[in-house]
Amino acid sequence: MKRLTKIIFIIIALSLMTSCQDTQEEVIIKEKPVKTMILKAEQRDNVIQYKGTVVPEDILKKSFVSGGTIQTISVEKGDKVEIGQSLASLNAEKADIAVSSSSSQASAAYQDYQKALDQVNYLRKQYADTETLFNAGAVSKQQVDDLKLKLDLAEKSLAQAQSVYYSAAEQTRYNKTLQSDSDIFSDINGYVVEVMYKEGELAPPGYPVVVIRTEELKVKIALSSDDKNRIGVGDPAFLIIDGIKIKSRVTSINSVPDQDTNTYEAELSVLEPDKFNIGDLIETGIITGSAKGIWVNINYILSDGFDYVYVVKDGRAFKKNVEIQSIVGDKALVNGLDDGDELIVAGYASVSDGYKIKIVNDEDSEDSKEKNDDKKSGDSDDE
C-alpha cells in the first residue's frame, strides 16, 4: 500500500513539473520579437508635393508671310539651332520679279513726281512775281488769274504724281519684304521640334513650316485651390530625377483656374535642363516653411479608425494614438509622441496592446548602439 502511494505521488509530481515547464515555454513564446528606435525631435521642411511635366520654356512656329513653293529645308527634327540660322527658304523667283517690276514703277513715278514738283515751284514763283507787278500796275488782273489757274492745275497734278509715287514705293517695300521673307531664320538658341513640310511642297501663308523650342525648360504642375493660397512665386522648390533632388523655384502661378479641373497651373524653373527630357513626368516639391517635431516613417503608423503606433514601455508594447500634421515623402510629422519614446519599427503587425516583447535590434544599428550604451551605463551603475 505504501509503495502504491509513493508511485502515485511520483506521478503527480512529474505531472506538476511538466505543467510548469509548458507554462514557462508559453511565456517565452509570447515574447514577440520586435525592432525599435528612439525618437528624437528634428527640424524638417514642410513640402507640398506634386507630379509635374517637363515642357520647353517657349515654342516658336516659324512660317512664311506670303507662302509659296519651298525650295530648301535646312534643318531636321532634333537639330540644334542658333540665332540667325536659316531654317527654310522659298523659291524666290516670283518675289525677285515683283521687286524688279515695282522698283521700275517706283522709279518712273518718282521722276513724274519730281517733274510735277519742279513745275509747281516754277509757277509759284511766277505767280508771286506777277502779283507784285499787278500791285505796281504793270500787268492786268487777267494775267494774274490765268497764272493762278495754271498753278492750281499744277498742284493737282503734283498731288496725283505724289500719290502714284508713294503707292509704287510702298509696293516696292512690300515686295522686298516678301523677298526677304523667302527665308526664315531662327531667332533663338534651341532645338527643332518638328518640320511640317518637304522641299517642293506649297506652304500657305502663315502656316508653320518649322517648329523650334528654346534650350530652357520648365515644369508645369496643377495646384489645388488650397495649395495655391499657400504657395507664392519665388518659393523654393525641388525636382526629383533618378532619385536625386535638383533645386528649383516657383516662377509663375496662374490666377485663373482651369475650367475642367478647377486647378491652377504653376511653373517651376529647371536649372539643369541637360538632366531632363521633354515630356518627363517627375516628382516635385515646393517648400512652404519648416517644422520641428517628431517625424516618423508613415509605414509605422497603423489605423483602426484612429491613427496609432506601438511604443515600448517596461518591456511591453503599448498602443499610442497619434495625429498626422503633415507628410513629406515617406515621413509624417505627428502629435502624440514624445522625444525619447521607443517606437516599434518592425514586428508591430504581430503585437497588441500590452504584449510582452523582446527587442532584437541589429547590433550595428545606430539606435541599437545607443540602447546598448545606455544599458551598459545602467549595469555599471548597478555594480
The architecture CATH gives domain 92-181: Orthogonal Bundle (1.10)
Other CB atoms within 10 Å distance of the CB of residue 293: 15
Locate the domains of the chain by residue range.
33-44+291-378, 48-58+216-290, 63-90+182-215, 92-181
Distance of alpha carbon 337 from alpha carbon 343, whole angstroms: 9
- What are the pLDDT digits (tens) for 309-341? 999 999 899 999 999 988 877 888 999 999 999
Tell me which residue has cell 503734283: 158
CATH for 33-44+291-378 (2.40.420.20, 1.10.8.50, 3.65.10.10, 3.40.80.10): 2.40.420.20
The architecture CATH gives domain 63-90+182-215: Beta Barrel (2.40)
* Residue 299 CB-density burial (10 A; 0-12 exposed, 13-18 middle, 19+ buried): exposed
Is the full-model pTM beyond 0.85?
A: no
What is the reported pLDDT for 366? 43
What Å distances lie between residue 217 and 78, 212, 279, 314, 317, CA to CA?
Answer: 15, 13, 11, 57, 52
What is the reported pLDDT for 370? 42
What is the reported pLDDT for 138? 86
Distance of alpha carbon 143 from alpha carbon 364, whole angstroms: 124
Distance of alpha carbon 137 from alpha carbon 100, whole angstroms: 55
Q: What is the 3-state secondary structure (H, E, C) of 267-328?
A: EEECCCHHHCCCCCEEEEEEEEEEEEEEEEEHHHCEECCCEEEEEEECCEEEEEECEEEEEE
63-90+182-215 against 92-181: fold identical: no
What is the reported pLDDT for 124? 93
Per CATH, is 48-58+216-290 categorized as 1.10.3470.10? no
What is the reported pLDDT for 139? 86
- What are the pLDDT digits (tens) for 173-202? 887 776 667 889 999 999 999 999 999 999
Q: State the greatest distance between any 2 C-alpha atoms of the chain, in Å, as a whole number.
A: 186
- What residues of the chain score a pLDDT lower than 50? 22-29, 364-383
- Mention every residue, 6+ apart, whose C-beta is less than 8 A from residue 243: none
